[in-house]
Amino acid sequence: MVGNNSGSGKRTNKSGFTLIEVIAVLVLIGIISAYVVVRATGPSPDLVARTESLKSHLRYAQMKSMSSNNVWGISAAGNSYWLFTNGDTTQSRQLPGEDGLNVNFSDYHLSVSPFICSFEPKWGSPCSDAPATARLTVVASINVSDGTESKSINITPYTGFIP
């Protein structure tokens, strides 16, 4: 006999799930599934982290130019980029948080589009050449790629704002 009847004819054994419990479990499974799908289809963590690091280094070069009378900038070729000063891409300086003069993307299986971005002294306006004589008049894009996906860094003309 299923259930236990007491003298009044009412069932006292309550086994199973209520409809609200079933719906709550289904909603939780849906939320977890959506999170997993978004994480699985998004860009690789190395791509995101190294792109944000490059953005930070560009902002650092701009800050250095604004606080000195020297041109500072970032230059990239192949799979690496570096900080330079005095409008000379061969005068490398070490970037904060990095071990050497060059930041090498090949360790992360990433590549960066070749570029030169320098900043005018005092004002920090972005330029497309090492001596900071050719001011940006259109948005400059730098692409970082892992071979299948890429992320862009956009540098706003005149202000050097990097969203």
Query: Could you say which DSSP state residue 81 is in?
Result: E
The per-residue pLDDT for 41 is 66
More confident residue, 139 or 6: 139
Task: Write the CB contacts of 160 (distance below 8 Å, at least 6 apart in sequence).
Answer: 62, 119, 124, 125, 126, 136
21-25, 55-59, 127-131, 144-148: range with lowest mean pLDDT = 144-148
Could you give the number of structural domains in the chain?
A: 1
12 assigned to some structural domain = no
113 assigned to some structural domain = yes
74 assigned to some structural domain = yes
Q: Please, are residues 154 and 162 in contact by the beta-carbon 8 Å criterion?
A: yes
138 assigned to some structural domain = yes
Q: Please, are residues 141 and 150 in contact by the beta-carbon 8 Å criterion?
A: no
Separation of alpha carbons 83 and 68, rounded Å: 15
* Other beta carbons less than 10 A from residue 102's beta carbon: 18
The per-residue pLDDT for 56 is 95
CATH number at 120 reads 3.55.40
Predicted confidence band of residue 7 (pLDDT cuts 50, 70, 90): low
11 assigned to some structural domain = no
More confident residue, 14 or 63: 63
63 assigned to some structural domain = yes
Range of the domain at 127: 45-155
Separation of alpha carbons 163 and 20, rounded Å: 44
| pLDDT > 90 in the chain, percent | 58
Average pLDDT over residues 53-63: 95
Record the pTM. Answer: 0.74
The per-residue pLDDT for 4 is 56
Mean pLDDT taken over the chain: 87
Average pLDDT over residues 61-84: 93
